[in-house]
Amino acid sequence: MQYIKIEKQPQDGIGIIYLNRPEALNALNTELMEELSNQIVEWDYDSEIRCIVLTGSEKVFAAGADIKQMAGKGAIDMLMIDQFTKWDKIKRCKKPIIAGVSGFALGGGCELVMHCDMVVASETAQFGQPEIKIGVMPGAGGTQRLTRAIGKVRAMEMVLTGRFITAHEALQYGLINKVVPVEIYLQETLKLAKQVASMPPVAVRLAKEAVLKSFEMSLEEGLIFERKNFYLLFASEDQKEGMNAFIEKRQPNWKGK
Ligand code: DAK
């Protein structure tokens, strides 16, 4: 792979994907997106991986879609490239994805962060939707996920002025989980990922699915969906193991079944 690096830590159940196109601040060209989405699909079906970490470098997470690749394109070219199919593969990942963000997460980079389930940021992280400054607007969730995450007026300001927000603002707005010093952002991201990976995998999968449904369903429909997943877990060996381990005052031994 040319634009991402991967590292598997099967002993902890985690897989790390590093966006790795430093010469263009990890701009998301179609090739990078192809590699990234394929890797996420592969790990979604890999039983050794229970949580995926997506990160860049200390300097940059991703400065957005590749402007040089897009600049000369017409509407039909964009339609035919159909990058949304690749984004949808990330959206459909059933395992938790945790973003570790340092430096810029802009445009498609910020939208990629919002595809993730949790976000740990370094103090140097900056988030923005600056597409307006280059004559377009967010095209991969920046008007929808951002608005749901931080509310209308804050999203409007970011989308209509292109202003970057700092990691501390992003934390205050509820866009990210925590802010840590740059030296330890990856370590802290991995710590969170290992914690999630140590939980019973079927319950994690159904819980993630139920939380995400809250963005798409009415409260009533969502509660019914949640209840069905809850009942379904009583068909798992891990439910018996978890509850028996509690009663017997011992650590559970998850089977993922
Ligand atoms: N694309 C291509 N190259 C980029 C880039 C980008 N987004 N961002 C940076 N680079 C390149 C620069 O051109 C430069 O390359 P050389 O000139 O050295 O060859 C190199 O990276 C270093 O950048 P700078 O010299 O500009 O570095 P600075 O530290 O001075 O500035 C910066 C850093 C992040 C503030 C600045 O580079 C910047 O403003 N970058 C552009 C940020 C931006 O506007 N991002 C939004 C792009 S539009 C879609 C999905 C998603 C999207 C669209 C469709 N579908 C699913 C259909 C998303 C759209 C976008 O993200």
Q: Is 83 in the pocket of ligand 1 (CB under 6 A)?
A: yes
Judged against a pLDDT cut of 80, whether residue 253 lies above it is answered with yes
**Distance from residue 107's CA to the centre of ligand 1 (Å):** 9
**H or E segment at 154?**
helix 152-161
Query: What is the per-residue pLDDT for 169?
Result: 98
Protein residue closest via CA to atom 52 of ligand 1: 108
**Whole-structure pTM over 0.95, yes or no?**
yes
Judged against a pLDDT cut of 90, whether residue 254 lies above it is answered with yes
Q: Is 33 in the pocket of ligand 1 (CB under 6 A)?
A: no
- Say which of 35, 111, 188, 226 is annotated catalytic: 111
Q: Is 102 in the pocket of ligand 1 (CB under 6 A)?
A: no
140 is catalytic: no
Whole-number Cα distances in Å, 73 to 78, 81, 107, 191, 207: 7, 10, 18, 42, 40
> Which domains can be identified in the chain, with CATH numbers?
4-197 (3.90.226.10), 201-248 (1.10.12.10)
Judged against a pLDDT cut of 80, whether residue 83 lies above it is answered with no
Token reading at 214: 């809250």
pLDDT mean over 35-57: 97
Q: Is 105 in the pocket of ligand 1 (CB under 6 A)?
A: no
Token reading at 211: 């939380």
Residue 212: closest CA among 229, 191, 187? 229
174 is catalytic: no
Q: Is 242 in the pocket of ligand 1 (CB under 6 A)?
A: no
131 is catalytic: yes
Q: Which amino acid is at 231?
A: Y
Q: In the structure, what pLDDT confidence band is assigned to residue 86 with cuts at 50, 70 and 90?
A: confident
Query: What is the per-residue pLDDT for 85?
Result: 77
Query: What is the per-residue pLDDT for 209?
Result: 98
Question: Tens of pLDDT along 111-144?
Answer: 999 999 999 999 999 999 999 999 999 999 999 9
Query: What is the per-residue pLDDT for 81?
Result: 84
- Say which of 65, 105, 193, 203 is annotated catalytic: 65
Residues in a beta bridge with 9 = 14
Query: What is the per-residue pLDDT for 234?
Result: 98
Q: What is the mean pLDDT of the chain?
A: 96
Q: In the structure, what pLDDT confidence band is assigned to residue 82 with cuts at 50, 70 and 90?
A: confident
CA 181 to chain centre: 20
Question: Tens of pLDDT along 147-187?
Answer: 999 999 999 999 999 999 999 999 999 999 999 999 999 99
pLDDT mean over 55-83: 93
203 is catalytic: no
Atom of ligand 1 nearest to the CA of 67: 1
Q: Is 61 in the pocket of ligand 1 (CB under 6 A)?
A: no
